[in-house]
């Protein structure tokens, strides 16, 4: 699918409709919501070191004027900074939700596995006083992300010290996402609270995770262990159901505990509330958790996710949603065109978008872009 066709999946009236619904342009003359969206998108695509200075340079580029289809006001990075600090984050949140819905359906991933994890962005305490304190003395913002299939679905940002606990941060994200009911989520053993497991089960949310091998369990009922295969890399040692014990209480319901051993001797203990799947299937589901690690690597290496462009919570949320919107467009393009690596997909997407914008500029000048079709990129 070419970039022109991919962008055609986004109705042209969306940005205006969402601006009206969220009142993002209330009492704003220059930097309206649609322009800020396009400015952030172009800056993220065209720079590996996204910053306010990069956004200022992009504001004066012909590419942005072509994408915006009109004259763009000239302004300094200080004006962009002030706008990011106060712009209504709900505009970008709503746009992100709509884009996920469109491309999740286009990729056929409405029943895909959900992977949940978190990552930290750190800065010196002197320049970032709001975040949680790390062991190194630096301050950090903790970003929690739910990836459904290939695309990011839900996010949250935590700054309070209490949210260093994954039970509060990631567990809260799962608990507050009703769309995960009936889906299977996979996460690492950072979420270990027995109350979290019970809460997920009561909400009809299935999960697969890991536990400490020294877990405490009672009323153990064994299940049949599948026979070992000669070529398998992970051997199932034990499969049972039991009540899990925490520090002060036990779970309200039984959970399935699966012990396995890898070829190199390392042992794993999986926990799940999926009772109908085979033990090998549970292990295979947990292996998919690595997808979100690959996703975080792409964000940090190619979308500058490890840098805070703005350091108040509103600005951070806006840039978080814009990063995820950019990731949706690039990753959807990657999968629809079978591009092997995300960094190549980003490069091709960027080149194709620039070609479309050059066409727009040529047409404004009264020219015929078809005469340069052998030069313009139509990826």
Q: What is the pLDDT of residue 377?
A: 58
Q: Is residue 267 helix, strand or coil?
A: strand
Residues of the chain with pLDDT under 50: none
Q: What is the pLDDT of residue 127?
A: 57
Q: What is the pLDDT of residue 126?
A: 57
User: Nearest 5°: phi and psi at 216?
Assistant: -105, 125
* Locus of tokens 């979100």: 292
Q: Is the pTM of this model over 0.85?
A: yes
**Structure letter (DSSP) for residue 179:** G
CB crowding 359-373: b at 16 or more within 10 Å, else e: bbebeeeeeebeeee
The HSE-up count of residue 293 (CA atoms within 13 Å, CB side) is 8
Q: What is the pLDDT of residue 367?
A: 78
User: Nearest 5°: phi and psi at 314?
Assistant: -65, -45
User: Nearest 5°: phi and psi at 244?
Assistant: -95, 140
Q: What is the pLDDT of residue 305?
A: 85
Rg (alpha carbons) of the chain, rounded to whole number: 24
- Contact criterion met (CB below 8 Å) for 348 and 161: no
Q: What is the pLDDT of residue 139?
A: 84
Q: What is the pLDDT of residue 93?
A: 95
User: Which residue, among 156, 194, 363, has the nearest Cα to 271 in the 3D structure?
Assistant: 194
* Locus of tokens 């950019």: 326
C-alpha 2/C-alpha 333 separation (Å) is 8
């Amino acid at each position: 699918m070419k970039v022109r066709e991919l962008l055609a999946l986004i109705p042209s009236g969306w940005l205006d409709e969402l601006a009206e619904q969220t009142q993002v342009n209330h009492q704003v003359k220059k930097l309206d919501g649609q322009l800020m969206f396009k400015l952030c998108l172009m800056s993220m695509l065209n720079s590996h070191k996204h910053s306010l200075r990069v956004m200022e340079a992009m504001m004066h580029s012909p590419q942005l004027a072509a994408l915006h289809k009109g004259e763009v006001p000239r302004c300094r990075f200080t004006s962009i900074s002030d706008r990011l600090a106060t712009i209504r984050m709900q505009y970008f949140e709503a746009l992100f939700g709509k884009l996920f819905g469109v491309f999740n359906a286009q990729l056929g991933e409405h029943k895909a596995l959900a992977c949940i994890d978190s990552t930290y962005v750190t800065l010196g305490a002197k320049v970032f006083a709001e975040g949680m304190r790390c062991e190194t003395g630096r301050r950090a913002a903790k970003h929690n992300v739910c990836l459904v299939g290939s695309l990011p679905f839900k996010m949250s940002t935590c700054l309070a010290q209490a949210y260093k606990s994954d039970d509060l941060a990631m567990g809260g994200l799962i608990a507050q996402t009703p769309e995960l009911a009936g889906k299977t989520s996979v996460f690492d053993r950072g979420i270990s609270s027995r109350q979290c497991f019970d809460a997920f089960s009561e909400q009809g949310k299935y999960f697969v995770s890991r536990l400490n091998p020294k877990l405490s369990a009672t009323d153990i009922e064994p299940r049949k262990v599948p026979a070992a295969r000669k070529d398998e890399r992970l051997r199932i040692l034990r499969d049972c159901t039991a009540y899990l014990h925490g520090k002060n209480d036990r779970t309200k319901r039984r959970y399935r505990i699966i012990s396995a051993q890898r070829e190199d001797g390392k042992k794993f203990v999986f926990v799940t509330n999926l009772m109908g799947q085979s033990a090998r299937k549970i292990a295979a589901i947990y292996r998919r958790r690595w997808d979100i690690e690959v996703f975080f690597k792409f964000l940090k290496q190619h979308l500058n996710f490890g840098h805070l462009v703005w350091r108040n919570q509103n600005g951070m949320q806006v840039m978080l949603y814009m990063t995820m919107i950019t990731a949706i467009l690039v990753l959807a393009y990657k999968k629809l065109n079978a591009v092997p690596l995300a960094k190549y997909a980003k490069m091709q997407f960027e080149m194709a978008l620039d070609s479309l914008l050059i066409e727009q500029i040529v047409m404004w000048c009264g020219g015929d872009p078809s005469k340069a079709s052998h030069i313009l990129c139509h990826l």
